[in-house]
Amino acid sequence: MKRGFFFIYLALGVYSFFILLPLLALFSASFKPAQEIFDPNLVPRSPTLENYRIALEKFPLGRFLLNSLLVAGLVALGQVATSALAGYALARVRLPGRELLFGAVVALLLVPGEVTFLPLYDLVTHLGWLDTYWALVVPFLATPIGIFLMRQFFKTLPQDLFDAARIDGAGHLRMLWHVALPLARPALGALGALSFLSAWNMYLWPLVVTRSTEMQTVQIGVNMILNEEAARWNVVAAGAILALLPTLVAFLVAQRQFVRGITLGGLKG
């Protein structure tokens, strides 16, 4: 290895360590007894699982985790499906005003979520969806960033593939299913991972549209632990680790597709 690369990798390793240090400290605190919580050592002297037992027994974290998994999974599936359909239509179907529609999608990327928050809340209130999974899932089944990503990816696919499928008698649905989607797995994986993480980390919207503990998500659960266990940071750390694990697993499972999707989803007009 060249000396220049050695120092580059060394600098990146040190930078990565400092990025991961807060997470390592949180993980360590979740195994520390109360008397060690402010000990600067990353390795607990007397590791214990008592903090996890308290967090799971005193708070309905199991229900919170189940709600978050269900909501994040449905939102991710919905965004992948709607983005693939809309992205294919904007990239490969000759529609009147197609470019105008794509311009509207791009314009929606510039609209902050705070602008649509109150109208969405008013809508789900009038529909009677408060404190239901409908309110947590339906408003997020489509996303302009997903449509934009898939449209750009489908534009990069060779036209010859679609021409060959059309000669064989395939319509747009068959071309989407048998040609476009198999080639778009990296982009779909990246979109699914991003959608899952985004839905999992939602806090304000679930806090506003849910009323009962049975419908609340894990982010609200962590805040509940923080409010009630402010004197026991080790228990708070255990609850935070339990909330973090599913997203970490989801990212590790979809890591290859995520990286390939970001790399291959080039911007082609």
Mean pLDDT of the chain: 86
Provide the pLDDT confidence category of residue 22 given band limits of 50, 70 and 90: confident
Q: What does the pLDDT look like over 167-219, one tens digit per residue?
A: 888 888 899 898 999 988 888 888 888 898 899 999 999 999 999 989 999 99
Task: Assess whether pLDDT exceeds 60 at residue 237.
Answer: yes
Phi/psi of residue 46, each to 5°? -130, 75
Q: Which domains does the chain have, with CATH numbers?
A: 1-48 (no CATH), 60-264 (1.10.3720.10)
Q: Mean pLDDT throughout 60-88?
A: 94
Give dist(CA 257, CA 39) in Å, integer: 39
Give dist(CA 148, CA 102) in Å, integer: 8
Give dist(CA 243, CA 255) in Å, integer: 19
Give dist(CA 30, CA 50) in Å, integer: 9
Q: Mean pLDDT throughout 241-263?
A: 73
Q: What does the pLDDT look like over 114-143, one tens digit per residue?
A: 889 999 999 999 999 999 999 999 999 999
Give dist(CA 75, CA 200) in Å, integer: 9
Task: Assess whether pLDDT exceeds 80 at residue 2.
Answer: no
Provide the pLDDT confidence category of residue 165 given band limits of 50, 70 and 90: confident
Give dist(CA 143, CA 31) in Å, integer: 39
Q: Mean pLDDT throughout 106-113?
A: 89
Task: Assess whether pLDDT exceeds 60 at residue 42.
Answer: yes
Give dist(CA 191, CA 261) in Å, integer: 8
Instruction: Tell me the percentage of the chain whose pLDDT exceeds 90.
Output: 35
pLDDT value at residue 268: 45
Phi/psi of residue 250, each to 5°? -60, -40
Helix ranges restricted to H, the chain: 3-29, 50-58, 61-92, 98-108, 113-126, 133-137, 144-156, 159-167, 172-175, 181-183, 185-200, 204-209, 218-228, 233-253, 255-264
* Amino acid residing at 193: A
Give dist(CA 222, CA 236) in Å, integer: 7
Task: Assess whether pLDDT exceeds 80 at residue 263.
Answer: no
pLDDT value at residue 259: 66
pLDDT value at residue 266: 47
pLDDT value at residue 247: 81
Q: Mean pLDDT throughout 73-87?
A: 95
Provide the pLDDT confidence category of residue 146 given band limits of 50, 70 and 90: very high
Q: Mean pLDDT throughout 102-107?
A: 92
The single residue listed with the structure tokens 């990239």 is: 91
pTM score, two decimals?
Answer: 0.85
Judged by DSSP in three states, 240 sits in helix
Give dist(CA 50, CA 59) in Å, integer: 14
Give dist(CA 136, CA 121) in Å, integer: 11
